[in-house]
Amino acid sequence: MRTQPDDDSQGGGGAPQVDGVPALGLGTSGNTDPDQCAASVRTALELGYRHVDTATSYDNERAVGRGVENADVDREDVFLATKVWYDDLGYRDVLDSAAASLDRLGTDYLDLLYVHWPTDSYDPEATLSAFAELYDDGTIDRVGVSNFDPALLETAVEVCDAPITVNQVECHPLLQQEPLRRYCADQGITLVAYCPIARGAVFDVPELQSIAEKHGVSAAQVSLAWLREKGVVAIPKATGEAHIRDNWASLALDLDESDVAAIDAIDRERRIIDPGFMDW
C-alpha cells in the first residue's frame, strides 16, 4: 500500500492518505492535562492534521472532543479514532464503551474504533460481533484492531461480519515489523504506527542522525518519512506546537533510495511498549 495525495474536500488537510486514512495523525496517549490536550488537538487540526487518535484508557476523550469542537475545522473533515479497553470487550461492554466514548467525544459517530489489546475479556466472536453491529448501524465507519499479529488478524477477519481494515501496532526504525507489514499489505489492512519515533529514541540512532543532517531536518521527521514511504500511517504524540509542527513538516521530506536502504538495514531492535501480558 502506498500513500496517495488527498485534497481538502476529502478531509485530508492536504496530507496524503493510506487507503482513506490520513497518513499522519496526532497521537494523544499520556496527554492527560485537559486544557493542554484540547489545545494540542486544536493546534494540530488548524495546522492541517485531520487524524486524531485517542482511547478510553487515555482518560482524555472529553479533552480531545473539546479540541475538535474548538478547531476551525468541520467535524466531518476529521478522522477521529478511539479504542475499547481490554476489560470491556464482552459484547454488551463493547456497545456500552462505544456509547460512552461518543458522549465524551461529543460526536454521534466514530471514523474508527479499535480493539485496544487482544487479551483479558477479548473473545473474537463476541467482541467482533459487537463491532460489526456498530459498523452496520453507522456508529463507526471502520473496524480496527490494535496489537494483533498475523495469527490473531486471520482469526479476527474470519469471524467478523464487518471488514477489518486497520491494525495499530508499535512501529518505527528500531521495530520495523517487516513480516507484519507484509502480511497486512497482502490482506489489504492498513498499518497504523504508534510510538513512530520510539519516544525519542530515534534521536540517538546514528543512521537516522546522518540522514537528518543530510536533509537538514530532525531525526523524528526522518522516521515519519520512512514510515510513510512504507505505506504506514503514523500517529506521533505531540503536545507543544513546536513538536506538532516538526512532525507535520515530515510530509515535505522525500527520502531517496539510499536513505530508505540505510534505515531498512538497521539491525537493532527496541520495543518501547511491552505490557507483559502479550506473547510477542
Q: Within a 10 A sphere around the Cβ of 214, how many other Cβ atoms? A: 13
Q: Can you say whether residue 40 is alpha, beta or left, with left for phi > 0 and alpha for psi between -120 and 50 degrees? A: alpha
Question: CA 42 from chain center: how many Å?
Answer: 18
Q: Find out whether 263 and 175 touch, Cβ atoms under 8 Å.
A: no
Angle between helices 124-136 and 91-105 (to 10 degrees): 40
DSSP 8-state assignment for residue 165? E
Catalytic residue among 49, 58, 122, 194: 58
Q: Can you say whether residue 199 is alpha, beta or left, with left for phi > 0 and alpha for psi between -120 and 50 degrees? A: left
Query: In whole angstroms, what is the distance from residue 223 CA to residue 77 CA?
Result: 26
114 is catalytic: no
The set of residues, in sequence order, having a beta carbon less than 8 Å from that of 13 and lying 6+ positions away, is 6, 22, 45, 48, 49, 50, 73, 77
HSE-CB of 66 using CA atoms within 13 angstroms: 12
Q: Find out whether 42 and 67 touch, Cβ atoms under 8 Å.
A: yes
Residues labelled catalytic: 58
